[in-house]
Homo-oligomer: A and B are copies of this chain.
């Protein structure tokens, strides 16, 4: 019942990103990759250093705000962060975006699962500077808070200097989309157990003004128009 598509070749798949399990769920189309990245708000990024037992590779997984721009993902962090400095120095990374769409309630434990959309990008980051850096910060802001950049104070020179902006190519990436209902074994279909999907939805709530808000300022129309 899964409506997923498997064409890993379309995403310039390599032995590292070829989906080894459940290839029928690899909706490996660039369009799908873009859609998943454009729909997400938070990405999880890995940084590896040598702080594992006996100096072995130790991964850290950090949540970051990001935006897709063309065939790249942009994200930012603090120059004071050791992990961001490691990424900026060219450490191989993995950036994953997961959107959980619902729970799949099968009649057996084994077939019970989740519906989700997921993107995974492998590579090393380029550090952006100059005009590219500020443009990338605008893109990240507009991805999360469309319409906001035009009215907020842009970053000062000092604030820009405190920020690392990284760019990761989508050249090596995979996308997986799992949707539809449970796929129970034939012998389980007669069990007296309800089966189906419980969808999960994410919505913006009413905006809460800051306690120190100047009088006379109302929630902007562009904020009211946000939908998920």
Please report A residues at the B interface, Cβ cutoff 8 Å: 1, 15-16, 20-21, 41-42, 44-48, 51-53, 56-63, 65, 78, 80-82, 92-96, 98, 100, 102-103, 105-110, 112, 114, 116, 118, 120, 122, 124, 137-138, 141, 144-145, 148-149, 151-156, 159, 162-163, 181-182, 184, 188-214, 217-220, 223, 226, 228
Contacts and interface: CB of A to CB of B under 8 A. Distances in A.
B214 A189 contact: yes
Contacts of A220: 194
Nearest to A137: B109
Nearest to A186: B212
A105 B223 CA distance: 10
Contacts of A63: 96, 98, 116, 118
A82 B57 CA distance: 18
Contact of A201 (B100, B153, B203): B203
A202 B200 contact: yes
A210 B195 contact: yes
22 contacts: A44-B44, A44-B61, A59-B93, A60-B94, A60-B120, A60-B122, A63-B118, A105-B145, A105-B207, A105-B223, A106-B152, A107-B152, A108-B159, A110-B159, A110-B162, A110-B163, A114-B144, A182-B210, A194-B220, A196-B207, A197-B210, A201-B205
A155 B20 contact: no
Given A62-B96, A96-B61, A204 B209 contact: no
**Which of A151, A156, A195, A210 has the most B CB atoms < 10 Å from its CB?**
A210
Given A65-B114, A108-B153, A194-B218, A98 B199 contact: no
A190 B214 contact: yes
A57 B51 contact: no
B155 A110 contact: yes
A35 to B, nearest CB: 17
Nearest to A198: B207
Nearest to A90: B53
Contacts of A195: 209-210, 212-213, 217
B202 A82 contact: no
